[in-house]
Amino acid sequence: MLIQSVHFTFTPEDANKAEAILRELRDASREEEGVIAFDVARSQDKPNVFALWEEYRDRAALDVHMATDHYKRLVLNGVRPLAQQRNAEIVFPI
């Protein structure tokens, strides 16, 4: 199993649009065979900051995820262009 942790920061004007996109991404990603968990959270103190916690069976499952149409539409052409900042780490359980 591998975990990808991602934090996005958006402008306050784009935060609600980003939330809608991230909800759609979460719902579509949870349907993928290799996805164990896919959660999205929004900061209460900084409502333009979001965190994603993605768990995949293995690297191949993450690669499949990144090749899906919904990833290309919602991430590459959706939240990433809107994001002011993106920090991501791939980690492995210990």
Bridge partners (DSSP) listed for residue 67: none
Please tell me the predicted confidence (pLDDT) of residue 37.
98
- CA distances in angstroms from 59 to 12, 55, 80, 91, listed in the order given: 34, 10, 21, 11
Please tell me the predicted confidence (pLDDT) of residue 67.
98
* Domain boundaries along the sequence of the chain: 2-91
Please tell me the predicted confidence (pLDDT) of residue 31.
98
Determine the topology of domain 2-91 in CATH.
Answer: Alpha-Beta Plaits (3.30.70)
- CA distances in angstroms from 15 to 5, 26, 94, listed in the order given: 19, 16, 34
How far apart (Å, rounded) are the C-alpha atoms in residues 47 and 42? 6
Mean pLDDT to the nearest integer, 36-54: 98
